Structure 1
Amino acid sequence: MSGVEVGLGLQSDKPAGTYARLARRAEECGFDVLTVFGDLMYQPPIFPLLEMAPATERVRLGPACLNPYSMAPYEIAGQVAALDLASGGRAYLGLARGTWLGAVGIAQPRPLTALRECAEVVRRLLAADTSGFAGEVFTLEPGTALRYGVARPDPPLLIGAWGARGAALAGRIAAEIKVGGSANPAMVEVVRDRLRPGAARAGRPVGDIGIVLGAVTVVDRDGAAARAHARTEVAMYLAVVAELDPTAGVPADLIARVTALVDAGEHAAAGRLIPDDVLDLFAFAGTPEQVAERAQALIDAGVRRVEFGTPHGLTDEGGVELLGTEVLPLLRREPARPAGGAGGREAAPAGTRGPVSR
């Protein structure tokens, strides 16, 4: 598993203090990356990330993802700079077009242009480039500069995208691409093919861009209970991800029935309709052995990082503990460190360093 990272994706819905405790334990167990989601109407991810930074020494930290519509590029630059300073140079920045912003009255025109220009503005600000930038969406007047110091001029950039054009953009400018909501090994080669045009345009080997797949995770020694809970979680986004995955082949009538029940608020009933083979495409679910088997399939397919997303288990802290102490060792990693261990290995950031869902 050399060169492969395993991460945790956290929802920003927890009280203060919880993030530091989870992060500390995750690092002790041997996780490599801690991500906080940037989902609509949850806490901004910078709060959990800044709590986790001083509680850890080694893990990489970042939001997945911020978007250039609800936050201006100079604010995004400030947040990643703050996280990089607080963590001693362990931050990464995730950018995506954002989801469900229409609910708060925010339009999302020209998403690829907005993402590309946002990344460029952030890069120039962090690099103290005062030459200016005149884009189609964003502008920097010549002489505009941050009025504070930064830890690094080039924290790694992750682009969150499923589609071909978003992947091509990641191939041009990003260190990583994340496909959120997928645990499907067949998507890895699809993503790699979609990265190639952008990588070729930038003169980069496609292997320089790390592929990250992450999805709902529910692990428990009671595998049936874990899979039942995961079905309910997956039901809420099945209609979206099933259409985005060209390899999945989920029957249209199944999607329609699941969607109708979700719309009616009957989430558990919707989940019960999802068969095992479909569940395994869009979640890591079951016993530690079952979850490790699905993660190993992604590693064998060539991902740079597997990300276990919320809710992790039947309880969040219980799930993190099982992932760390029983799943990670099955992925040919070091045995989990006991609680209170030092966890002091140096970070090894994945992929090409670039400018800086989920």
Structure 2
Amino acid sequence: MRLRIFTEPHRGADYSTLLTLAKAAEALGFDGFFRSDHYLSSGPVRELPGPTDAWITLAGLARETERIRLGTLVSPATFRFPGPLAVSVAQVDQMSGGRIEFGFGAGWFDGEHAAYGIPFPELRERFERYEEQLEIITGLWETPEGERYSFAGKHYTVTDSPALPKPAQRPRPPLLVGGFGTKRTPRLAARFADEFNVPFCDVPETAEAFGRVRKACAAAGREPASMVYSAAQVVCCGRDEAELARRAAAIGHQPADLRRRGLAGTPVEIAERIAEFAGIGTDTIYLQVLDLSDIDHLELLAELLPLTSRMS
């Protein structure tokens, strides 16, 4: 079982805070450090210090870390054009020495689009654009050097592109698709993704979503076991009930709610819950850490690493 730290910096965190947390996660032995890609908080309002751009942040972290995997969970297709996004991710992958993983979604939060002047099409069009972007980005990365890439779609056209630069990882960085959709999402995951992620669902719901993707893989002629299956869960850990209650209050939750819908309790309790996810075929857990100033929390979560290392 791979354990990765997952952050939500749009809730209030500048680059230096993320750098401190990323370096701590690397030093403690976590497999990855991921961040969301948002420009506005969808939770309790905290406007300061304001949003940070996901790929600018990851470019900085790429140069200031050495081992840990880095990525987004997830970048919305609505935020960027596919060609420049492929260039940015490839460059950050080069800067990291091949440690980038590209989480990519259709986009869902209309408020942040309105707040920063980003068009927000209706759902059908968002998925049309998302599928074309997946086609273009993977096509650009996978085109052999010296050859050209072209694409003609409903929303995007790419003409005679040199398809450069190339990422450090060949033919491309791992691509992650996630969500709850019952038809389009499994189909797109089966076609394009290396990893499928289910965010903030319980074990039975996660198992159902994994099952839909396994069926979509089989229907597409792909071996379902070739997919990495992952889950994201809010995490809140304490050595005792008092410490757990203090940490839960700091992120605006009750311990009972976190135990029911997330990963909460002592390291041993959380490891037992992670084992339930392992039992349905989960390969990777993204631990959503909401208080980014609490480095001691990260140190306590590191006690999960030996407890989960043999889970599969």
TM-score range, shorter chain: 0.7 to 0.9
Counterpart residue number, 1:154: 172
Equivalence map 1:16-55=2 (5 Å): 16-41=15-40, 42-55=51-64
Once the 2 structures are TM-superposed, how far is the Cα of residue 34 of structure 1 from its aligned partner? Answer: 1.5
In structure 2, the CA distance between the partners of 1:332 and 1:126, relative to structure 1 (3 Å rule), is closer
In structure 2, the CA distance between the partners of 1:297 and 1:228, relative to structure 1 (3 Å rule), is farther
- 3-state SS of the aligned residue for 2:87? helix
How much identity, in percent, do the aligned residues show?
28
Matched, 1:177 2:186: no
CA distance in 2, matches of 1:232, 1:17: 21
CA distance in 1, matches of 2:172, 2:88: 14
Q: Deviations over 1:262-298 (max 9, x none)?
A: xxxxxx5xx55xx83x533421122222222222221
Q: Does the CA-based 8 Å contact 1:60-1:90 persist in structure 2? A: yes
Once the 2 structures are TM-superposed, how far is the Cα of residue 124 of structure 1 from its aligned partner? Answer: 1.8
Quick check: 87-96 or 285-294, which moved more?
285-294
Matched, 1:285 2:264: yes
Counterpart residue number, 2:306: 329
Q: Deviations over 1:144-176 (max 9, x none)?
A: 234545323311110121121212321221011
Q: Deviations over 1:313-345 (max 9, x none)?
A: 8x4312111111x22222246xxxxxxxxxxxx
Q: Which runs of 5+ in 1 are unaligned?
A: 234-267, 334-358
Equivalence map 1:78-117=2 (5 Å): 78-105=87-114, 106-109=119-122, 110=124, 111-117=126-132
Cα-Cα RMSD: 2.5
CA distance in 1, matches of 2:121, 2:263: 31
Find the partner of 1:71 among 74, 80, 90. Answer: 80
Find the partner of 2:157 among 139, 147, 152. Answer: 139
In structure 2, the CA distance between the partners of 1:102 and 1:18, relative to structure 1 (3 Å rule), is closer
Q: Does the CA-based 8 Å contact 1:219-1:323 persist in structure 2? A: yes
CA distance in 1, matches of 2:229, 2:241: 28
In structure 2, the CA distance between the partners of 1:282 and 1:39, relative to structure 1 (3 Å rule), is farther
Q: Does the CA-based 8 Å contact 1:40-1:99 persist in structure 2? A: no
Once the 2 structures are TM-superposed, how far is the Cα of residue 55 of structure 1 from its aligned partner? Answer: 3.1
In structure 2, the CA distance between the partners of 1:187 and 1:134, relative to structure 1 (3 Å rule), is same
In structure 2, the CA distance between the partners of 1:148 and 1:97, relative to structure 1 (3 Å rule), is closer
Quick check: 126-135 or 29-38, which moved more?
126-135
The residue identity in structure 2 corresponding to 1:10 is: T
Q: Which runs of 5+ in 2 are unaligned?
A: 41-50
Once the 2 structures are TM-superposed, how far is the Cα of residue 60 of structure 1 from its aligned partner? Answer: 1.7
Counterpart residue number, 1:167: 186
Q: Does the CA-based 8 Å contact 2:237-2:247 persist in structure 1? A: no
CA distance in 1, matches of 2:57, 2:152: 34
Counterpart residue number, 1:122: 137
In structure 2, the CA distance between the partners of 1:22 and 1:103, relative to structure 1 (3 Å rule), is closer
CA distance in 2, matches of 1:91, 1:115: 20
Higher RCO, Cα 8 Å, sep 6+: 1
Q: How many corresponding residue pairs?
A: 287
